[in-house]
Amino acid sequence: MKLKLTILACFCATALFAQTPKSITWDFSSYPEITEILGQPQVIETKLGPAVEFNGATDGVFTSSVPVNGMDEVTLEVIMNQYGKANFENRYLHMGELNGPRIMFETRVTPENTWYADFFVVMTQGRETALMIDEKKTHPCDQWYNVTLVGTKDGVKGYVNGVLEGEVPLNYRNAITSGQTSLGVRQNLRSWFKGAIYKVRVTNAALTPNQFLKDYEILNAK
């Protein structure tokens, strides 16, 4: 089933700023903030419901929402599946400006069909940036994962399935206030993602790993 412009993702302010963690969840009914769908992203079924599949060449989704706006602390989680036999660079979430303040979730795919995470955060262009990447911390492709960024005034941390992958002492704060969000590709239409995204959750607090989403455990269960 093709993804349509009537997709729902619950980027509602009341949900994001509630005291309990809330999810940005695809439910495929209606979502007026979707501004553009590139290619033909597919809706696929999983054990927990539908996910969106991107072909790594032409598929992407753009929304006018920047849900981290207003947050001085953030936990941004993506439940995703990086497919094998993909291009080396895959950018599957780009939130904020194209070249200004932004958060980017990326992978690097190896010839052995493993991948390692790349987190990139910009607070002020050209100065306050954080890059977290470790080519030794690889993960098998074609499985579901929770990839998480936590940002506070004391620094930013990147996790895969609740395990710390990197940290940088960047002063995270409410600096990503404009722009848009793209899924499946960088906003300048480079580094297309070959894989699937089940869920994105944004929380206005620094969650600990025991509070992270565990959807991947059910999605990977035999």
Question: Judging by DSSP bridges, how do beta strands 128-133 and 102-109 pair with one another?
Answer: unpaired
Percent of the chain at pLDDT exceeding 70: 86
Q: What is the pLDDT of residue 115?
A: 98
Q: What is the pLDDT of residue 127?
A: 83
3-state secondary structure of 202: strand
Query: CB neighbours (10 Å) of residue 101?
Result: 22
* Mean pLDDT computed over every residue of the chain: 89
Is the pLDDT at 102 greater than 60? The verdict is: yes
Q: Tokens 């997709």 label which residue?
A: 7
Please state the rounded mean pLDDT for residues 115-132: 94
Where does the pLDDT of residue 58 fall: very low under 50, low under 70, confident under 90, or very high at 90 and above?
A: very high
Q: What is the pLDDT of residue 16?
A: 42
3-state secondary structure of 218: helix
Where does the pLDDT of residue 6 fall: very low under 50, low under 70, confident under 90, or very high at 90 and above?
A: very low
Is the pLDDT at 3 greater than 80? The verdict is: no
Please state the rounded mean pLDDT for residues 149-166: 98
User: What dihedral do alpha carbons 92, 36, 103, 19 form, nearest 10°?
Assistant: -100
Where does the pLDDT of residue 143 fall: very low under 50, low under 70, confident under 90, or very high at 90 and above?
A: very high
Question: Judging by DSSP bridges, how do beta strands 60-63 and 74-82 pair with one another?
Answer: unpaired
Question: For the segment 9-51, what is each residue's pLDDT rounded down to a tens digit?
Answer: 443 333 444 456 555 654 444 444 789 999 999 999 999 988 9
Residue type, 34: I
Is the pLDDT at 179 greater than 60? The verdict is: yes
What global pTM score does this model have?
A: 0.90
Question: For the segment 61-83, what is each residue's pLDDT rounded down to a tens digit?
Answer: 999 989 999 999 999 999 999 99
Q: What is the pLDDT of residue 126?
A: 72
